[in-house]
């Protein structure tokens, strides 16, 4: 349901009264480092432990949204690897079109994102030279074949992690972790306005509070009954 900000803040305040001080402190520490300036796009990841490891790295580096393109592989969270991180993140799935990659790109561009495809095969920027002044969506491809041609051709820029060894590529979860860690550290040191706004913070904290309260639907219903 879509409430106005004032109503949401009142509801949040109410839900927070059911949550321990320690956990509330945790929420406020963590939300302070959450960002949508940087986001992750996964195209047809088929090994769930890899996708789950990416979610865990998103949580740990503060990247709130993960966009999951399912042209071929339906994605499930591997609970052992994700360690519950998916319940603190926003997962946005693209699986209802013929080509979900272009659908995802269009929607992300509509929100102001520049699309960066990770590929070792193109003229590309590295993690230091990639501009992150604009909102940035980093796209990672499948384990063996990498990104689809469509995902590469329709991107705005290309990113490559330097490799100095015999192995041809980094594991997907490793390359995502290096990318997210390096770029979020760059954001933290920059003047870029990468933090969430009040509306976003309120929505996310509402989700977190709901995840932390058993039978939160009942609590919410009571709240709105008493309001009217």
Binding flag, residue 110, its own copies (CB under 8 A): no
Of the candidate residues 48, 78, 85, 202, the single one contacting its own copies (CB under 8 A): 85
Of the candidate residues 98, 165, 214, 226, the single one contacting its own copies (CB under 8 A): 165
Return the C-alpha torsion angle 113, 119, 44, 182, nearest 10.
-60
Residue 168, helix vs strand vs coil: coil
Binding flag, residue 141, its own copies (CB under 8 A): no
Binding flag, residue 45, its own copies (CB under 8 A): no
Q: Tell me, what DSSP letter sits at residue 125?
A: B
Binding flag, residue 30, its own copies (CB under 8 A): yes
Q: How far is the CB of 111 from its own copies (least distance, A)?
A: 22
The encoded tokens of residue 37 equal 């300036």
Locate all alpha helices (DSSP H) within the chain, ordered by sequence: 5-16, 21-31, 48-61, 79-82, 100-110, 149-153, 172-189, 198-212, 216-227
Q: How far is the CB of 200 from its own copies (least distance, A)?
A: 16
The encoded tokens of residue 68 equal 């999951």
Residues that bind its own copies (CB under 8 A): 26, 30, 33-34, 53, 56-62, 81, 83-85, 88, 161-168, 170-171, 173-174, 177-178, 181-182, 184-185
């Amino acid at each position: 349901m879509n409430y106005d900000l004032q109503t949401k803040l009142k509801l949040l305040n109410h839900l927070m009264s059911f949550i321990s001080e320690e956990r509330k402190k945790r929420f406020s520490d963590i939300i302070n480092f959450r960002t949508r300036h940087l986001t992750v796009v996964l195209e047809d990841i088929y090994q769930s432990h890899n996708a789950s490891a990416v979610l865990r790295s998103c949580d740990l580096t503060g990247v709130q949204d993960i966009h999951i393109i399912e042209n071929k592989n339906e994605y499930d969270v591997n609970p052992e690897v994700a360690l519950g991180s998916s319940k603190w993140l926003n997962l946005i799935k693209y699986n209802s079109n013929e080509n979900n990659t272009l659908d995802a790109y269009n929607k992300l561009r509509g929100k102001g994102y520049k699309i960066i495809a990770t590929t070792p095969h193109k003229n590309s920027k590295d993690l230091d030279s990639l501009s992150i002044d604009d909102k940035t969506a980093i796209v990672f491809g499948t384990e063996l074949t990498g990104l689809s041609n469509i995902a590469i051709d329709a991107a705005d820029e290309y990113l490559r992690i330097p490799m100095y060894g015999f192995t041809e590529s980094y594991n997907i979860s490793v390359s995502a972790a290096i990318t997210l860690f390096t770029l979020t550290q760059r954001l933290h040191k920059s003047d870029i306005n990468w933090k969430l706004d009040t509306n976003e913070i309120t929505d996310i904290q509402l989700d977190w509070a709901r995840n932390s309260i058993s039978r939160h639907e009942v609590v919410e219903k009571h709240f709105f009954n008493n309001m009217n």
